[in-house]
Amino acid sequence: MKYEGTLSPYLLYILKIFDMDNLSLIESFSEFKDEKYIDRVTLMSILEEVFRNTLKRKFGDDDNFDVIINPDKGDLEIWRNRIVVKDGEVEDENSQISLSDAQKIEPDFEVGEDVSEEVKLADLGRRVVLSLRQNLVAKIHEHDNGIIYKQFVDLVGEIYTAEVHHVRHNVVILLDDDGNEIIMPKDRQIPSDFYRKGDSIRGIIESVELKGTKPAIIMSRTSPKFLEKLFEQDIPEVFDGLISIKKVVRVPGEKAKVAVDSYDDRIDPVGACVGMKGSRIHGIVRELGNENIDVVNYTNNTQLFINRALSPAKVTSLKIDDENKTVQVYLDADQVSKAIGRGGYNIKLAGQLTGYEIDVFREGSEEDVELTEFSDEIEAWIIDEFKKVGLDTAKSILEQDLEDLVKRTDLEEETIVDVRKILSEEFEESK
């Protein structure tokens, strides 16, 4: 049968019963009593509903039919009830039967009596039976999907484990122990991850949507929530609520910053999360493809929090504009690259963690030249792109690797090469 391999055992059994042209649709019902998504009462209700809908379509009405389901015997019977009328006076063939036809069933019938006649599956016709079977499949799928949807809605934001079933270019298809399909799109995968069929994968259930009647379950390994849940799972003090996670920001597979706080002054939240020589956080780092994780001690003191967020750089001074949520950070020349970080990730994540747009300035750089001094040669929007990643002077750009600049900015390599040439010429002329 074309359905095999995609349907649950009880549904396969029912379809085979149809193929046998038999009405014992729930024979050996004990085989299904432990099924996760359906119980005896529900299956009986679905069977009756589907059969009654079929009777309505074929006969126009089902009020005069008895659908009898006997789970103990394992059978289902359909009886059609009609009233005997005189020959030639039948106005509704569904609810009335002529005297002569009634007496073919039983010779003693008289006008006005009720006649009950069993309807066999074969009596409905092959086309009706095929339609009935399709409707039954759809109804049970609908019931199962509704249960699965509710189950996974309750799991949104929780860590879940499933096995890789199929790897495609833009998505990985996973199956859990119950055979439920879970989807992990490309943008929810850590770039360094490599998947093979049969691999066991952990992530969080990010969302569940009904597409038609089928639930679409999305798993993510890039969500900050996944990192937060890993902390809860692997660090006892976080799990017990002694340490709270205030905020998590990530560049998946590259770098993350986690702000933590403790309700107990005796507990060092950063030390508890990292562990001796990184022993506690090592497993989390490995799970995330060696993502570099900075654990930051949270504080309500904005200035101190920004200082901590820019670690490992040491800030000389800063000017905060609370109204516009911006901050000018001043550092010694040798600290600028640390504040910005490889790929610009450190300053980007520090900004996301604190909620402030951070502009980096060098202290004591008399020989350096502000980028704005080159506004007659370099377009303003290009200068702004460099400023967004904390590069506001000529030397700050010239000291950076070209490939790194391409990654950190939204500028083309050719544009950056032209800018560096202009800046280099400035210093050559000044010699």
Does pLDDT of 167 surpass 90?
yes
Strands 255-262 and 292-297: parallel
- 345-370 pLDDT per residue, tens: 999 999 999 999 998 887 755 567 78
Is 0.85 topped by the overall pTM? no
pLDDT of 362 reads: 77
Cα 283 to Cα 299: distance, rounded to the nearest angstrom? 27
Cα 22 to Cα 420: distance, rounded to the nearest angstrom? 82
pLDDT band at 405 (very low <50, low <70, confident <90, very high): confident
Please report how many Cα atoms fall inside a 13 Å half-sphere around the Cα of residue 73, on the Cβ side: 8
- 71-121 pLDDT per residue, tens: 655 567 788 899 888 988 888 888 888 888 888 888 888 888 888 888 777
Residue 418 or 426, more confident: 418
Paired tokens of 154: 């309750």
Domains of the chain plus CATH, in order, are 9-150 (3.30.1480), 155-221 (2.40.50.140), 223-298 (3.30.300.20)
* One-letter amino acid of 48: E
Please provide the average confidence, as pLDDT, over all residues in the chain. Answer: 83
Cα 49 to Cα 60: distance, rounded to the nearest angstrom? 15
pLDDT of 30 reads: 40
**Residues paired with residue 211 on neighbouring β-strands, in sequence order:** 214
* Lowest model confidence (mean pLDDT) among 39-43, 363-367, 395-399: 363-367
- Is residue 3 within 8 Å of 55, Cβ to Cβ? no
Residues 6+ apart with CB under 8 A from 52: 62, 65, 67
DSSP 120: P
- Is residue 323 within 8 Å of 339, Cβ to Cβ? no
pLDDT band at 38 (very low <50, low <70, confident <90, very high): low
